[in-house]
């Protein structure tokens, strides 16, 4: 959703806001919005695959600022895609714009605000470690956030323009004006607080002389995801002052709406302004306006009982019979990816956008076999079923119909009872999907089993095959994360890191994008199987700036042992990791040669 130009209109009329010293309160946080803004409003690198350790540290500082002010955060995340399909065009348009921006970042450098692939997982993992309550919705989160804040009578923290429309008793705190980095103290007891600005719909309606009950009609007429009334907006555009843009058109619309007391009057008048409409077109417009305004009517909160006593919300009516009951709680806890809902309900998945050169194929092609296993577990072995994957094809958004795969021991598992499956069987399914034998992992610490298995898969399946320097740099980055964990400080290798060019090496970036795609899909598959392997601490696995810097050093003769010379523990761990990956590659090559020999003998 979202009303284009509304934020600009409000910022231009800043008297709407009230200055607040915020403390001692519950706070419902738009988690998807916060994750995005935290990463981009800091100076974290955007073009080399993610600075995940620094992002984790930033999230920790944000949470500490809240807790210092006795603010109780409750984070709510978006879930599956809207099942009505009304927002499909909007989502496609955004994805196409992201593809263009990602290509520009890969080709020219600069910040284009493309979120690193694993940033959301770092966000969720860090909040869980800090014991911040988190809920993942079954669909878009806006209404659930507003309903929860309304029930608890506490504010919402977000920059989403939709929250300027919802009637929130305690108002909205825009993230832009939430100065959490500079906690202050006042009073005789020197209590900590965060300076911010508070917005309420009543102040908006007073300023623009509009009835509160007409405000949702304003949002729908202004053009949210449910209704795009070009016929009307063109009329208001001609009435707006020259050069005033979308904010000017909104002011003209508000002046027009100030003459109506009830929503239905405004809707009927808008239809009359559109002139003679066919019966079908009028019905379409009415339905769009109805859906657009209904989005701002708040139901009882489904999340209140989840946050208070851990009760999972009821499934959407459309999901009953398609989503197993056992999945409700882990989905709400964010322990299962929301992609599961899209697969089960829509047979459709939207793959993310990475900073990658448009001349190269999508990095997600490498991990598609892993997703096919997940689709097979979710949808069964029916041969006619396909999942539509939306992904980059060159510089445009394309789609491909992908067949679920249910082979080998995976055929013994059923979705309805997947939560009861034996861990040993689930582990076998997982390792078979990655083509890794458990003996290759046995000498490593358990929390590194999944990252090493993924790296073995990546070395075998990535195209073009990663050269030794790419593997060495990746392993050195992983060792750095591990030694930081052991010493609770920075390693010598990490301290040598310098700032890379904003423009990444095209082929290096593509190789590591493939690795991150494999890591993401492996984590999702591992989650669905009940975590037969421990989920890795993602912020320790990959540091984009570091590994990109290491590749040219390694290609010009520097050895990993030299880079780790001051860290004997790190050298041994590096050798263990490299041995596990290379031995797996040798086993795979030997098996392939054996198969070819058998074929020749037939």
> Using one digit for the tens of pLDDT, what is the confidence trace for 4-47?
889 999 999 999 999 999 999 999 999 999 999 999 988 899 99
Do 14 and 116 lie in one domain? The reply is yes
Longest Cα pair distance anywhere in the chain, in angstroms? 90
Q: Note whether residue 36 is domain-resident.
A: yes
Domain containing 222 equals: 212-294
The mean pLDDT of 39-59, rounded to a whole number, is: 94
Distance separating alpha carbons of residues 214 and 446, to the nearest angstrom? 58
Do 462 and 396 lie in one domain? The reply is yes
- Show the CA angle centred on residue 147, arms to residues 144 and 149, nearest 5°: 105
pLDDT(206) > 80:
yes
- Phi-psi bin for 223: left (phi > 0), alpha (psi -120 to 50), beta? left
pLDDT, tens digit (0-9, with 9 covering 90-100), for 232-255: 655 555 655 645 677 788 888 899
Within 10 angstroms of residue 105's Cβ, the number of other Cβ atoms is 24
Within 10 angstroms of residue 589's Cβ, the number of other Cβ atoms is 11
Q: Note whether residue 483 is domain-resident.
A: yes
Of the residues 166, 184, 208, the one at which a domain ends:
208
DSSP track, 15-64: GG-EEEEE-SEEEEEEHHHHHHHHHHTTT---SSS-BHHHHHHHHHHHHH
Distance separating alpha carbons of residues 539 and 335, to the nearest angstrom? 17
Lowest pLDDT segment from 299-303, 337-341, 496-500: 496-500
pLDDT(120) > 50:
yes
Confidence band of 587 (pLDDT split at 50, 70, 90)? low
Confidence band of 273 (pLDDT split at 50, 70, 90)? confident
Split into its structural domains, the chain has a count of 3
Give CA torsion, residues 582, 585, 587, 593, to 10 deg: -140
pLDDT(163) > 80:
yes
pLDDT(229) > 90:
no
Dihedral sign for Cα 494, 497, 502, 507, please. negative
The mean pLDDT of 257-265, rounded to a whole number, is: 92
Q: What DSSP designation does 230 have?
A: H
Residue 559, CB half-sphere, CA atoms under 13 Å: how many?
A: 5
- How far is CA 3 from its chain centroid? 21
What pairs with residue 393 in β-bridges?
396
Residue 574 near residue 479 (C-beta atoms within 8 A): yes
Do 23 and 45 lie in one domain? The reply is yes
Q: What DSSP designation does 81 have?
A: P
From the list 549, 561, 573, the residue with the least C-alpha distance to 49 is: 549
pLDDT(580) > 50:
yes
Do 144 and 239 lie in one domain? The reply is no
Do 387 and 497 lie in one domain? The reply is yes
From the list 586, 572, 589, 591, the residue with the least C-alpha distance to 443 is: 572
Do 204 and 231 lie in one domain? The reply is no
Of the residues 256, 276, 294, the one at which a domain ends:
294
Residue 569 near residue 483 (C-beta atoms within 8 A): yes
Three-state DSSP at 543 gives: strand
Do 74 and 53 lie in one domain? The reply is yes
* pLDDT at position 179: 97
Do 459 and 488 lie in one domain? The reply is yes
Where do the H-state alpha helices sit in 230-278?
230-239, 245-257, 263-273
pLDDT, mean over the chain: 90
Of the residues 151, 178, 208, the one at which a domain ends:
208
From the list 396, 306, 235, 324, the residue with the least C-alpha distance to 76 is: 306
Do 461 and 436 lie in one domain? The reply is yes
Q: What DSSP designation does 199 have?
A: B
Do 195 and 228 lie in one domain? The reply is no
Distance separating alpha carbons of residues 517 and 521, to the nearest angstrom? 6
Do 253 and 216 lie in one domain? The reply is yes
């Amino acid at each position: 959703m979202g009303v284009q130009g509304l934020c600009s209109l409000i910022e231009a009329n800043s008297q709407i806001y009230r200055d607040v010293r915020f403390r001692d309160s519950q706070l419902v946080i738009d988690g998807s919005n916060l994750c995005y803004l935290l990463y981009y409003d800091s100076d974290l690198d955007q073009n080399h695959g993610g600075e995940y350790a620094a992002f984790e540290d930033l999230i920790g500082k944000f949470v500490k600022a809240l807790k210092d002010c006795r603010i109780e955060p409750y984070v709510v995340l978006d879930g599956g895609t809207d099942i009505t399909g009304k927002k499909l065009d909007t989502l496609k348009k955004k994805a196409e714009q992201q593809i263009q921006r990602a290509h520009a970042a890969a080709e020219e450098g600069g910040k284009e605000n493309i979120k690193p692939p694993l940033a959301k997982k770092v966000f969720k993992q860090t909040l869980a470690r800090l014991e911040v309550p988190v809920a993942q919705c079954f669909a878009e989160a806006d209404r659930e956030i507003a309903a929860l804040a309304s029930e608890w009578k506490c504010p919402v923290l977000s920059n989403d323009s939709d929250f300027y429309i919802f009637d929130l008793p305690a108002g909205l705190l825009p993230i832009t004006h939430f100065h959490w980095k500079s906690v202050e103290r006042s009073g005789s007891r020197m209590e900590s607080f965060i300076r911010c600005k508070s917005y309420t719909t009543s102040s908006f309606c007073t300023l623009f002389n509009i009835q509160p009950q007409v405000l949702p009609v304003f949002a729908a007429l202004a053009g949210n995801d449910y209704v795009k009334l070009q016929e009307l907006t063109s009329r208001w555009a001609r009435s707006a002052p020259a050069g005033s843009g979308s904010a000017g058109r909104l002011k003209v619309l508000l002046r027009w709406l100030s003459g109506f007391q009830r929503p239905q009057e405004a809707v009927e008048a808008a239809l009359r302004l559109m002139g003679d409409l066919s019966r079908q077109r009028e019905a379409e417009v009415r339905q769009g306006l109805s859906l657009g305004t209904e989005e701002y009517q708040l139901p009882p909160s489904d999340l209140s009982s989840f946050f208070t006593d851990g009760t999972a919300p009821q499934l959407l009516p459309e999901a009953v019979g398609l989503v197993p009951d056992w999945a409700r709680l882990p989905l709400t806890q964010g322990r299962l990816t929301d992609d599961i809902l899209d697969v089960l309900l829509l047979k459709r998945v939207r793959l993310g956008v990475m900073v990658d050169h448009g001349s190269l194929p999508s990095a997600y092609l490498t991990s598609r076999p892993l997703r096919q296993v997940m689709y097979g577990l979710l949808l069964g072995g029916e041969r006619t079923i396909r999942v539509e994957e939306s992904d980059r094809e060159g510089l445009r958004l394309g789609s491909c119909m992908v067949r679920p795969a249910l082979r080998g021991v995976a055929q013994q598992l059923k979705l309805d009872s997947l939560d009861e499956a034996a861990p040993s069987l689930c582990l076998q399914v997982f390792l078979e999907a990655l083509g890794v034998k458990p003996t290759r992992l046995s000498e490593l610490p358990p929390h590194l089993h999944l990252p090493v298995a993924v790296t073995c898969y990546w070395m075998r399946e990535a195209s073009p095959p990663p050269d030794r320097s790419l593997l060495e740099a990746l392993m050195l980055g992983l060792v750095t994360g591990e030694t930081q964990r052991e010493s609770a400080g920075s390693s010598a290798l990490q301290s040598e890191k310098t700032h890379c060019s904003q423009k990444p090496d095209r082929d290096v970036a593509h190789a590591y994008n493939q690795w991150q795609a494999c890591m993401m899909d492996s984590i999702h598959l591992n989650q669905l199987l009940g975590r037969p392997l421990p989920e890795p601490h993602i912020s320790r696995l990959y540091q984009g700036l570091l590994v990109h810097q290491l590749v040219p050093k390694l290609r010009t003769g520097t050895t990993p042992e030299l880079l780790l010379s001051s860290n004997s523990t790190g050298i041994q761990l590096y050798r263990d990791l490299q041995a596990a990956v290379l031995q797996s590659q040798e086993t795979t090559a030997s098996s392939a040669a054996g198969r070819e020999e058998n074929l020749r003998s037939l």
